[in-house]
Chains A and B, each alone.
Chain A
Amino acid sequence: MDLNQPAGENYANPKTCFFHVLFKAGALAFYILSALFIDNFVIIFVVTVLLSALDFWVVKNVSGRILVGLRWWNEINDLGESVWKFECLDQESLARMNKKDSWLFWWTLYLAAVAWVVLGIFSLIRLQADYLLVIGVCLTLSIANIIGFTKCRKDAKKQIQQFASRTIASQFTSTIQSALSVV
């Protein structure tokens, strides 16, 4: 990744982007098409939910890391309390992230959730409780990822600001010190 390459010209990680979109699109496509062609609810359920779960895993563990440099997870500490951990790359790397990659990442994340909501509304209108179950599961997974990454991004921004203010503070103090020592 040279800094000379104008950002936004190409995807920096085409393979990852592909997988990021593949499972989401696969789950949605399978769900929509299968309602027309396949009569067996069990297969629809299992395949859709499996694709959704795989998509969740891929986004959380692979494309989140590689496309936007963020990671989130939950741990239980020694006191038995649940702690949400967020991780982000440092400033230089974040700045060097390909814009197109991160645009794709966030947009597909949100669009997929919206698509599931729309499909859910259709199911609701048709009063199909079992399809609502499928949609419920897929929606839960999408929303979990959205919330996780949004929190992670906010945390990253907070880190930047804290870092900057710490930088000023310490720089300010050392300026004063050196000024005083000169005098």
Chain B
Amino acid sequence: MSDNDTIPLHPSSQSDIDEIENLIHASVQSGPATVFPARPPSPPRASIPVSSSPFMPSNIPPHPPSTTQKPQAVPVPPPLPASSGNGRANMAASGFGSPPNTLTEPVLDTVKRDLSRIVSNLKLVVFPNPFREDPGKALRDWDLWGPFFFIVFLGLILSWSASVKKSEVFAVAFALLAAGAVILTLNVLLLGGHIIFFQSLSLLGYCLFPLDVGALICMLKDNVIVKVVVVCVTLAWSSWAAYPFMSSAVNPRRKALALYPVFLMYVSVGFLIIAID
């Protein structure tokens, strides 16, 4: 498949060869800030095949299939929206009906996209959904914003509930959760499981959401019995949420080895919530 069409050469091919040589010389110079020699005025059907899309998506995986394909062949010159890469953020997104043209979309679109991703990840991970597809494949678009907010929120609540040593409580809570997530991920990887580092971090962070809710309730109601009950419920919920992802990542015989530390971490957070005074 070739979307770079070559158009039969004009008899004066020498000038084209020169043009190509200029292109090469320019490309082996320094970075993207290179200024190209001005193109000689040529009719739109230039004899040099050029890329037909305003941007060149690429990927560096070890294997060939690329998931973002270039769109249709549009005649040159590169259309106007390419120059909007320089323009202000408010310029309207140019769609050729092509795969996500994320380079030229307005900022608000990016914000909305990220926010909706957080919400959808949360719903996917934490809430019971009988129509959920293979949990190993869910959370494909991992992101770390959700986990970041949840960890900070939990730390803040714990710190607020503490009457003394607030700073230490916060620092300990944050470090425990962050380091815990990293170590749990390494644990799965070392057990020979197939999980992606950031995906797992993201998952463990999202599963903190029930504990966040529990901590909030515990902060508002100071009764010990209520606290214990609430923490048990939210703990069970968190573990239940994390279970399918973790268990599908490892060998079935090693499931318990992978899940037990997760459970342990959530239990320790639960204790922190109950014991905070």
Residues of A in contact with B (beta carbons under 8 Å apart) = 1, 3, 7, 12-13, 15-16, 40-42, 45-46, 49-50, 53, 57, 61-62, 65-66, 68-71, 74-77, 80-99, 102, 130, 133, 151, 153, 155-157, 159-161, 163-168, 170-171, 174-175, 178
Which of chain B's residues 20-74 have a Cβ closer than 8 Å to chain A?
20, 23-24, 27-28, 31-36, 38, 48-49, 51, 53-61, 65, 67-68
Given contacts A45-B170, A69-B103, A170-B4, contact A93 B58 (CB under 8 A): no
Which of chain B's residues 161-198 have a Cβ closer than 8 Å to chain A?
166-168, 170-171, 174-175, 194, 196-198
Chain A residues with CB under 8 Å of B31's CB are 153, 157
Q: How far is the CA of A45 from the CA of B114 in the complex (A)?
A: 24
Q: How far is the CA of A69 from the CA of B140 in the complex (A)?
A: 26
The listed residue (A3, A50, A65, A82) touching B103 by CB distance below 8 A is A65
Q: Which residue of B lies closest to A103 (CB)?
A: B33
Residues of B in contact with A (beta carbons under 8 Å apart) = 4, 6, 8-9, 13, 16-17, 20, 23-24, 27-28, 31-36, 38, 48-49, 51, 53-61, 65, 67-68, 77-78, 82-83, 85-89, 102-104, 107, 110, 114, 136-137, 140-142, 145, 148, 152, 155-156, 159, 166-168, 170-171, 174-175, 194, 196-199
Count CB-based A-B contacts (< 8 Å).
Answer: 199
Instruction: Determine if A74 and B59 form an interchain contact, defined as CB atoms under 8 angstroms apart.
Output: no
Instruction: Determine if B55 and A87 form an interchain contact, defined as CB atoms under 8 angstroms apart.
Output: yes
Chain B residues with CB under 8 Å of A71's CB are 102-103
Instruction: Determine if B86 and A156 form an interchain contact, defined as CB atoms under 8 angstroms apart.
Output: no
Instruction: Determine if A174 and B6 form an interchain contact, defined as CB atoms under 8 angstroms apart.
Output: yes
Instruction: Determine if A171 and B17 form an interchain contact, defined as CB atoms under 8 angstroms apart.
Output: yes
Q: How far is the CA of A84 from the CA of B137 in the complex (A)?
A: 18
Chain B residues with CB under 8 Å of A86's CB are 57-60
Given contacts A42-B170, A90-B82, A171-B16, contact A95 B58 (CB under 8 A): no
- Residue contacts A-B, CB under 8 angstroms, 8 given: A42-B156, A49-B152, A66-B89, A76-B141, A91-B51, A130-B167, A170-B4, A171-B16
Chain B residues with CB under 8 Å of A96's CB are 83, 86
User: In whole Å, how far is B203's beta carbon from the nearest beta carbon of chain A?
Assistant: 12
Q: How far is the CA of A109 from the CA of B248 in the complex (A)?
A: 39
Q: When A and B form their complex, which 9 residue pairs have the shortest distance between CB atoms, in order from nearest?
A: A41-B167, A160-B27, A130-B171, A94-B32, A42-B170, A93-B85, A93-B82, A89-B85, A82-B196
Chain A residues with CB under 8 Å of B6's CB are 170-171, 174
Q: Which residue of A lies closest to B14 (CB)?
A: A175
Instruction: Determine if B103 and A175 form an interchain contact, defined as CB atoms under 8 angstroms apart.
Output: no
Given contacts A82-B198, A90-B53, A178-B13, contact A42 B166 (CB under 8 A): yes
Instruction: Determine if B85 and A62 form an interchain contact, defined as CB atoms under 8 angstroms apart.
Output: no
Q: How far is the CA of A53 from the CA of B149 in the complex (A)?
A: 11
User: In whole Å, how far is A89's beta carbon from the nearest beta carbon of chain B?
Assistant: 5
Instruction: Determine if A41 and B77 form an interchain contact, defined as CB atoms under 8 angstroms apart.
Output: no
Instruction: Determine if B8 and A174 form an interchain contact, defined as CB atoms under 8 angstroms apart.
Output: yes
